[in-house]
Amino acid sequence: MVAAFAVTLMVGRTFYPPGDVLRVVLGEQVPGASFTVGRLRLPRGVLAVVAGLAFGLAGVTFQTMLRNPLASPDVIGISSGASAAAVVGIVLLGLDGTSVSTLAVVAALVVALLIYTLAFKDGVAGTRLILIGIGVGAMLTSVIQYVLSRAGQWDYQEALRWLTGSLNGTSWTTVGPALVALLVLGPVLLGQTRNLAALQLGDDTAAALGVRVERTRVIAIVAAVGLVAFATAACGPIAFVSFLAGPIAARIVGPNGSLLVPAALVGALLVLVADLVGQFALDTRFPVGVVTGVLGAPYLVYLIVRTNRAGGSL
Partner 1 sequence: MTSTHSLVAEELTLAYGERTVIDGLDLAVPAGRITAIVGANASGKSTLLRSMSRLLAPRAGRVLLDGAAVHRMPAKELARTLGLLPQSPIAPEGITVSDLVGRGRHPHQGVFSRWSREDDAAVAAALEATQTTELAERAVDELSGGQRQRVWIAMALAQQTDVLLLDEPTTFLDVSHQVEVLDLLTDLNAVRGTTIVMVLHDLNLAARYADHLVALEAGRIHAAGAPGDVLTEDCVRAVFGLASRVIVDPVSGKPLVLPIGRHHAAPSTAGAVAAEV
One of 27, 97, 210, 311 touching partner 1 (CB under 8 A): 210
**Closest approach of Cβ 1 to partner 1, in Å?**
24
Torsion (CA) 277, 251, 237, 108 in degrees, nearest 10: -170
Sole window of 128-136, 156-164, 248-256, 295-303 interacting with partner 1 (rule: CB under 8 A)? 248-256
d(CA 19, CA 192): 40
Counting residues that bind partner 1 (by CB under 8 A) gives 21
For residues 180 to 199, the per-residue mask of contacts with partner 1, x marking binding by CB under 8 A and - elsewhere, is -----------x--x--xx-
Sole window of 1-9, 46-54, 129-137, 204-212 interacting with partner 1 (rule: CB under 8 A)? 204-212
Secondary structure class of 310 (helix, strand, coil): coil
Using the minimum distance from each CB to partner 1, give the nearer residue, 12 or 126: 126
Q: Are the CB atoms for 24 and 38 separated by under 8 Å?
A: yes
**For residue 254, how far is the Cα from the chain centroid?**
23
Q: Are the CB atoms for 1 and 268 separated by under 8 Å?
A: yes
**Closest approach of Cβ 203 to partner 1, in Å?**
8
Site membership for partner 1, residue 201 (CB under 8 A):
yes
Using the minimum distance from each CB to partner 1, give the nearer residue, 158 or 203: 203
**For residue 55, how far is the Cα from the chain centroid?**
3
**Nearest one of 19, 150, 129, 114 to 75, comparing CA atoms:** 129
**Closest approach of Cβ 64 to partner 1, in Å?**
8
d(CA 305, CA 301): 6
Which residues sit at the interface with partner 1, rule CB under 8 A?
67, 191, 194, 197-198, 200-202, 204-205, 207-212, 250, 254-257
